[in-house]
A and B are shown apart, each in its own frame.
Chain A
Amino acid sequence: MPQLDFSVFPSQLFWLSISFFTMLFLMSKIIIPRIAEMINLRKEKIDDYLQKAAEIKEKAEKSLAKYQEALQKATSEANQSLLKTQQDLKTLMECKQADLSAELAAQIKEGEQKIAQGKQKALKQVEEMSAELAMDVVKKLGLKVTEAQIRKAIEVSVKE
C-alpha cells in the first residue's frame, strides 16, 4: 500500500507543517478577525437593542405606575366629593324637611284655630236662630215665656 510508505515521511511532514502553519497564520490573522469582528458587532448591537428595550419597558412600567397612582388618587377624590355631596344633600334635605314640617304644623294649628272659631261662631248662630225660632213658636202658641228663659234653656241644651 502506498499509504504505508514511510520513505515519504520527511517530505510529508515538511510540506504539511509549511501548509498547516501558513494556513494557521492566514486564518488567525485574516479570516478569524474578520468573522469575529462581525459577530461581535452583531452581538453588541443586539445587546444594545436589548438594553434599550429594557429601558423602554422600565419607562413604560414607571408611567403605568404613575397612571395607576393618579387613577387611584382621582378615584378617592371623587369618592370623597361624592360622599361630601351626599352628606350635604342629606343635611339640606333634613333642614328643609324640618322647615316644612314646622310650617305645616303652624298651618295645621292655624287651621285648627280657624275651625274652632268657625265652630264657635256657628254655635252662636245656632243659638241665636234657635232662640228666634223658639220665640216665634212661643208667640204663636201664646205661651208666657220670656226671652231670657228661652235663651237660658237653649244655652243649656246646646251645651249638653
Chain B
Amino acid sequence: MSSPMEQFVIKPIIPIEVGGVDISFTNSSLFMVLAVVVSFLLLRLCLQKRSIVPSVAQSIPESIYEFISGLLKENVGVEGLKYFSFIFTLFLFVAFGNLLGLFPYAFTFTSHLTAVGSLSLIALCFNIVIGIKKKKIRWLRTFLPKGIPFALAPLIVPIEMISFLSKPFSLTVRLVANMTVGHIMLKIIAGFVVALGVAGVVPVIFNSCIVCFEIFIALLQAFIYTVLSCIYLGDALHEH
C-alpha cells in the first residue's frame, strides 16, 4: 500500500532552471495550466450559442457571473465591480483546481501551501496596489486606524501589520488544509478496499459518498476563498 502522502509529491516534468532558480514545469504546474484550459474551454463551449433566453449551458456561466457580481456588490459595493474579472478568475481558478484534483491520478495543486500561498500573494499584492491607488498615502492608515492615539503606534502598527498579513495566510491554510484532508481520507479509505477483499465493497460505497461530499467541499472552499478575498478587497478600499 502506497503512502497517502504520495499523491502530493511534486515531480518535475520539464526541468527548467533560470539563474540558479528552479522553475521546472511540474505536475503541479500541469494542473494549473489544465485548470486554465479546462475552465476556459468549458465556459467557451457553454457560450457557443447565445440567446436572450438562455439555454441550460448558457445559464451556467451566467449564474456564476451573477453570483460573483452579487458577492462583490455585497462585500465591496458597486465600485467593486471594477475588479470583477479578478474575483471571477480567482473563483474559477480555485474551483477548477479543486475539482480537477478529484479525478483519479490527478494532482491537486490547491492542496499545496506554496501554490495557494502564491495565489494569496497575488491577491495580496492586488489588494495593496488598488488600496494605494485609491487612498494614496492614506493607505498607510491601514496600520494605524483613525482615533488611535499616536503614543500607541508602536504597539498598534505591528499588530495591524500581523493582522494584515495573516489574512492571506489564513486564506491559504484554510484551503490547503481542507483539500489535503479530503484527499488523504479518500486515499486511506481507498487503501482499505484492496485490504478487505470482498468486504471492500463497503469502503467503495463509503468512498463514493465521500467523493460527492468532496465535490461539494471543493466548491464550498472555492466559494469561501472568493468571499474572503472580496471582504479583504473591501477592507482595502474602505476605511473602517
Interface residues, chain A, with chain B CB atoms under 8 Å away: 1-17, 19-20, 22-24, 26-28, 30-32, 34-39, 41-42, 45
CB distance B8 to A1 under 8 Å?
A: yes
Residues of A with C-beta under 8 A to B58: 38
* A16: chain B residues within 8 A (beta carbon): 29, 32, 109, 115, 118-119, 122
CB of B114 within 8 A of CB of A27, answer no
- 14 new A-B pairs (CB below 8 Å) besides A9-B114, A11-B22? A1-B5, A11-B23, A12-B109, A12-B115, A13-B121, A15-B25, A16-B109, A16-B122, A20-B93, A20-B122, A23-B93, A27-B92, A35-B61, A38-B54
Interface residues of B, dominant DSSP = helix
Contact check, B8 vs A31: say whether CB atoms are below 8 A apart.
no
Are A22 and B54 touching (Cβ within 8 A)?
no
**How far, in whole Å, are A24 and B22 apart by their CA atoms in the complex?**
25
Determine how close the nearest CB of chain B comes to the CB of A31; give it in whole angstroms: 5
Interface residues of B in 97-124 (CB under 8 A from A): 109, 111-115, 117-119, 121-122
Instruction: Pick from A5, A23, A34, A38: contact of B89, CB below 8 A.
Output: A23
Known contacts: A11-B24, A11-B29. The answer to whether A24 contacts B118 by CB under 8 A is: no
25 A–B contacts, CB within 8 A, in A order: A3-B112, A4-B113, A7-B22, A11-B23, A11-B25, A12-B115, A12-B117, A14-B23, A15-B25, A16-B29, A16-B115, A16-B122, A19-B32, A20-B122, A23-B89, A23-B93, A26-B36, A27-B43, A27-B88, A27-B89, A32-B65, A32-B84, A32-B88, A38-B51, A39-B65
Query: Once bound together, how far apart are the Cα atoms of A4 and B12, in whole Å?
Result: 17
With an 8 A cutoff between CB atoms, is B21 at the interface?
A: yes
Cβ of B33 < 8 Å from any Cβ of A? yes
Complex CA–CA separation, A35 to B22 (angstroms):
39
CB-based nearest A residue for B21: A10
Main secondary structure of the interface of A (DSSP, over half): helix
Q: Tell whether A20 pairs with B119 under 8 Å between CB atoms, given A2-B9, A32-B65.
A: yes
Scan residues 113-162 of chain B and give those whose CB is less than 8 A from a CB of chain A.
Answer: 113-115, 117-119, 121-122
B208 at interface, CB cutoff 8 A = no
Query: Do A28 and B89 contact each other (CB < 8 Å), given the known contacts A1-B8, A6-B114, A7-B22?
Result: yes
Residues in B neighbouring A32, C-beta threshold 8 A: 65, 84-85, 88
Give A134 to B192 CA distance when docked, in angstroms.
168
Instruction: Determine whether the beta carbon of A12 is less than 8 Å from that of B61.
Output: no
What residues of B have a CB within 8 angstroms of the CB of A22 in the complex?
A: 36
Contact (A13, B36) CB under 8 Å given A7-B22, A20-B93, A35-B61: no
Interface residues of B in 42-79 (CB under 8 A from A): 43-44, 47, 50-52, 54, 58, 61-62, 65-66
